[in-house]
Structure 1
Amino acid sequence: MTATTDFRPATTEPRARFHDVVAAEWIKLRSLRSTWIAYGATALAVIAFNAGTAYDTYSYWTERNAADRADFVRAGIPLKEAFTANAAMVMMLALGAIGAVAIIGEYSTGTIRTTFAAVPARRSVMAAKAVVVTAVTVVFGAIVAGASFGLTQAILDGRSAGISMSHPGALRVVVASALLAPVCALTGMAIGSVIRHTSATMIASVVVILVLPLVFTEGRHWSAVAGHATLYQAWNRLTEVGHSPAAFPWTTGGAWTVYGVWALTAAALAVTSVHRRDQ
């Protein structure tokens, strides 16, 4: 008797396609309750800052003289109250932290090893994370910025001082404030992918996103140019109402460019930083 050997090739699992990896990252994100708590708390805080400023104006409106009331809309104050500097800082810090947690959460728990074992193409994993984080934060930013604008102007309408979205500069303020969310989230994600330690990442995010813009001043050319390259100052320029004299002025086009460069650089850094590293 002779034994027969089966030489049929063993079936192999197909390689994960990019949209499959994106779907897996979306499942990871939406399955974490803490993620939605963070988004919800941030949204409430940002909207509350803006609405509180508008309500303060509403409450003390009668104390303004006739000239101040007449110049209120012409001076662009409703636009300033639609999304305040304090609200922008809260959103920048919170979204930077949320973006960082999207990557350092897996590194801190060790589940990143499982992820890379399932999908050895590490760059594809990180690119999928960046896609999911960007998509979610774009929607988040649009909701928060739109809600802030609608609520603040509704409050100011009680004093006949509100404006509509068709008002000159209103759309730019809303879009610039909305896009601040994904850019900061990608920045936090990039910092987290490089540092990979929770406390150090959070400190670095605060320094990069918020402290650096406050360090650079308009007093010297090099300092002004460096400051213009930061996210907070870019948002400030895009939401600026009227003409503010400056020693070294710059354009809204330059501010939009800063947004784009930060987003693309952060995404590229997050994707490439995992290559040829132990995890």
Structure 2
Amino acid sequence: MTAPTTMDRTVVSSDPPLEPKARFSDLFAAEWIKLWSLRSTLWAFAATAALVLTSTASNARGDAQQYARHGEEQRALFRLLGTVADSFPSGSATMLMIGAGAIGAATVLGEYASGLIRTTFTAVPARSSVMAAKVAVVIVATTVFGVLVAFASYGAAQAVLSGQDAAVGLGHAGIMRLLVASTLLAPVSALVGMGVATVIRQSVFTIVVTTALLFVLPTLFNDGNRLSASFLHMTVLQAWGRIGVGQAAGEDWPWTVGGACIVLAVWTLVAAATTIFSSNRRDQ
């Protein structure tokens, strides 16, 4: 009799081995490296800071010259209010908005223009997660940048005004509120640029639309009537001014700091959501 033989059968699967899903921290780290690996990133931040500080110093220098010719009553009023406004004037806010908006747009446009976005989405099919990590990186980077630029602007203004003994410290009423509002201006503007870039994906039109939303839009409205004033109050620049500088006494259509904070929050959420979820539309 022949003893029965047994054979081990190994089941070979044709499916590739499962790879662990990328964690959000990994995606954040990858996007952080992408951001700072570009030489243009540092140049963009440096150019924006230079424009902001130049605007601040020029504005403070003009006010310092006027201060020297004022009487004591006018000087006291300037030390109370003018030094706050000079610490981060509207011209500096405009420079920061446009610069940060361009930086935010570049973080998206660079990958779409080079075609690298296809490689990214092939490596990580979870597109929304990739874009959410990109949004988080931009928020962190521009918030830190906003802090540095806001305090540097304050220092530049006070250095100029100190020549007329008109400088004030950080504890002066209104200074910290202005610096906080100016800090927030950077990430909000950057996210607006990202949102526009994700939808348009064309460099020139993206910059034009971003500039129009952040800078041109406020000039189309005024506070002559309630409807126009309401639209004016919905813009990023006006919300920054209400939080940081306040509103003029006797303004016809007053609004609150809380309302201005809501405006900035809405711009932030809409821009972030547009960036994250528009990525599912197409790759080019």
What TM-score do you get using the length of structure 2 for normalisation?
0.92
* TM-aligned CA distance change 1:160 to 1:46, over 3 Å: same
Residue 191 of structure 1: how far off its partner (Å):
0.6
| 1:26 alignment counterpart | 32
* TM-aligned CA distance change 1:276 to 1:3, over 3 Å: farther
- State whether structure 2 residue 126 is matched by structure 1 residue 126: no
Residue 241 of structure 1: how far off its partner (Å):
4.9
Deviation sequence 1:242-273 (CA, Å, 0-9, x none): 64322211011111111111111111111111
CA distance in 2, matches of 1:144, 1:176: 12
Residue 187 of structure 1: how far off its partner (Å):
0.5
- State whether structure 2 residue 16 is matched by structure 1 residue 16: no
SS in structure 2 at match of 1:273: helix
- State whether structure 2 residue 57 is matched by structure 1 residue 54: no
| 1:180 alignment counterpart | 185
| 1:204 alignment counterpart | 209
Percent identity reads 44
Q: Which structure's CA Rg is the greater one?
A: 2
Residue 207 of structure 1: how far off its partner (Å):
1.1
CA distance in 1, matches of 2:221, 2:130: 36
- State whether structure 2 residue 158 is matched by structure 1 residue 153: yes
Residues 80 and 241 of structure 1 are in contact (CA less than 8 Å); yes or no, is this contact kept in structure 2? no
| 2:3 alignment counterpart | none
1:222 to 214, 219, 227: 227
1:190 to 189, 195, 199: 195
| 1:244 alignment counterpart | 249
CA distance in 2, matches of 1:157, 1:111: 50
- State whether structure 2 residue 55 is matched by structure 1 residue 41: no
| 2:11 alignment counterpart | 7
Task: Tell me how many residue pairs correspond in the alignment.
Answer: 277
- The runs of 5 or more residues in structure 1 that have no matched partner are none
Residue 64 of structure 1: how far off its partner (Å):
2.4
In angstroms, what is the RMSD of aligned CA positions? 1.9
CA distance in 1, matches of 2:176, 2:267: 22
Residue 236 of structure 1: how far off its partner (Å):
1.5
Residue 219 of structure 1: how far off its partner (Å):
1.2
| 1:273 alignment counterpart | 278
* TM-aligned CA distance change 1:71 to 1:81, over 3 Å: same
CA distance in 1, matches of 2:63, 2:226: 37
Report 1:157-168 matches (<5 A): 157-168=162-173
